Amino acid sequence: LVGKVEAGIPEDDPRNPATIADNVGDNVGDVAGMGADLYESYYGSILATMALGAAAAMGIGSDEAGIRLAIAPMALAGLGIFCSLVGVFVVRAKENASFSELLKGLHKGVYVASFLITALCAGLFWYLFQGLEGTGVSWLGMWLAIVTGLISGLVIAYATEYYTSYEHKPTQGIAEQAQTGSATVIIAGIAEGMKSTWAPLVVIVVAIIASFTFAGGNESFLLGLYGVGIAAVGMLSTLGITLATDAYGPIADNAGGNAEMTGQDPIVRERTDMLDSLGNTTAATGKGFAIGSAALTALALLAAYVSVVQTSLDQKITSDENIALVADSEESVAYLGNGEFIVNHGGEVFGAVLLGSDATQATIDDLEWAGATDATFEWDADENYHTVSFSGEDVTLAPSATAEIKQLLNFYNVTIMNPRVLGGLFLGVMLAFVFCALTMNAVGRAAYQMMYECRRQFGVMKDAFKKNGMSDNEIADPMNWPKEQYEVDGIKYPNYGECVNISTASAQREMVAPAILAISAPIIVGLILGIGGVMGLLVGGLTSGFAVAIYMANAGGAWDNAKKYIEADHFGGKGSDAHKAGVVGDTVGDPFKDTSGPAINILLKLMAVVSLIFGPLFV
């Protein structure tokens, strides 16, 4: 802001104290930060899918299927590493290639890696899942779920590229709006960002339904959820080449900065600008890919959360103290309260949960309970429940250890009309926006400190220039300032290190409040609203957060490339009023695409992981 807008110093000019901080920030945010984000999605999707595989195997009663379902996501991830390496080596570009030719070269690497994974995974899954047809596990269905994930990732990347690349109309339209000032640039960018959310959202909806169906969700709900998880792993299986193309952006940007700071020939800067524009597009597609994979991963973690709740519930019901209530009385039940039963059926003791209405629950609560009560049982294997008769009452009980997810949700009354679930849903939606506000304000406060420091340094430098004989008219134009550092009182100016220190300290300090919010929200909601409230919180955060993240990432990327489009001799080129308006849009877009948008990915996954860890506390 100070360098480009206020002081009139060109971007990446060594006379700007914040130049080095800008370049360092690109590496930290778009390489290290994005890498950590995608790595979290990577291992999160693998572990969640393994957990769902184990739960699905328990439901279909096959230990062999459980082992193979747990191996599949790890084998797929390993295969993806080797295919991504091949994809890296097929990326080629000829000398003096155009923007579209460079982009096609990068696309080639991703497409080759995706094709190899698709082909090799068919053989891998046929080998893994052969002989399991009787259990409902189909190698073809699982393979189709992976293909769904891969295609979804590619479509989201293409949609993001369309809305952020200056080769296409949306970004060119934003650049055109710059002719009438920065306000219209901001309005156009916000509008295009909002409009761009439709494609990734539709793709994710189709991917969820398709992968659920392909994996056998119509026969086994847990197998369907496993299919959604394996689709997330499939989307992330090309992580090697995807992350490489994403890291390409800040590397090219830094190369341009180095060329500017070292005074290279104009042709060098032209080439790096071309690479930088391409890098902005690949960075935007990388963010879209990261957000899409985060959404699928969060959904898989949500399903895993239900499995953790089920395990904790069964452990609570089948405690030694409760088992002792029915140990000596076969064909009996003991009511533990809250719709929970301990059952002895034919000498087999197990936990069970009540399936029914609130009226049924009230009737059971009104009965006189004193230890075990004699009962008769009728088992429905197809529906996985017992019809139990005792004390003149007939109730439906599902075994707590093997209850299907639908039965478990029925037990906890997780329906959209439950006020606890609805309350959690609204809180989840609110959380996404509050989290964005916290991160945006954090950037604003850090930018204020940086601006104040830059202004202070400009004042020191101007005084030094005046003492060395420069006139006020010469000092008024920053382009007359020397590019070499000036030493004043033993300190060299511009003092790049101080700006880097400010941004580093601010980032660490400002991270505390959003992190506490993301960690504490599921715990507080779980303690107050229970299991249903947490489910609502996670679903609300996932649906709203996904849309907001896509909007912010795409709007920021479009503003950035709109400025690049103007700099490529459109609408007046560099230094024009349109360019100044474009710079303002780019500056607003930076916290959109580099802070708040990617940060929501972390929010979605962190809330799900915290819910997983503290799930037993809410049971």
pLDDT digits (tens, 9 = 90+) for 355-387: 877 777 788 888 777 677 888 888 776 777 888
Question: What is the Cα–Cα distance from 275 to 286, expressed in whole angstroms?
Answer: 16
Phi, psi of 389 (to 5 degrees): -110, 125
Burial class for 597, CB neighbours closer than 10 Å (0-12, 13-18, 19+):
buried
Check if the beta carbon of residue 297 is closer than 8 Å to that of residue 44.
yes
3-state SS, one letter per residue, for 314-352: HHHHCCHHHHHHHCCCCCEEEEEECCEEEEEECCEEEEE
E strand or H helix at 61? none
Evaluate whether 591 touches 597 at the Cβ level (below 8 Å): no
Q: Which carries the bigger pLDDT value, residue 536 or residue 13?
A: 536
Answer yes or no: pTM beyond 0.95: no
Which residue, among 206, 234, 288, has the nearest Cα to 116 in the 3D structure?
Answer: 234
Round to whole Å and give the CA distance between 405 and 224. 11
More confident residue, 369 or 256: 256
pLDDT computed for residue 2 by the predictor: 57
Determine contact, residues 220/47, Cβ cutoff 8 Å.
no
- pLDDT band of residue 3 (cuts 50, 70, 90) is low
Q: Is the pLDDT of residue 272 over 70?
A: yes
Q: Average of pLDDT values for 253-279?
A: 82
Confidence bin at 527 (pLDDT 50/70/90): very high
Q: Residue count of the chain, please give it.
A: 619
Convert 130-158 to b/e letters by CB count within 10 Å (16 or more is b): eebeebbbbbebbbbbbbbbbbbbbbbbe
Q: How far apart are the first and last CA of the chain?
A: 51
Per-residue pLDDT of 559-589, as tens digits, reads: 988 998 998 889 998 889 999 899 899 989 9
Residue 1 is predicted with a pLDDT of 57
Residue 491 has pLDDT above 80, yes or no: yes
The single residue listed with the structure tokens 């029915």 is 326
Rounded-to-integer distance, Cα 455 and Cα 160, Å: 37
- Three-class SS state of 197: coil
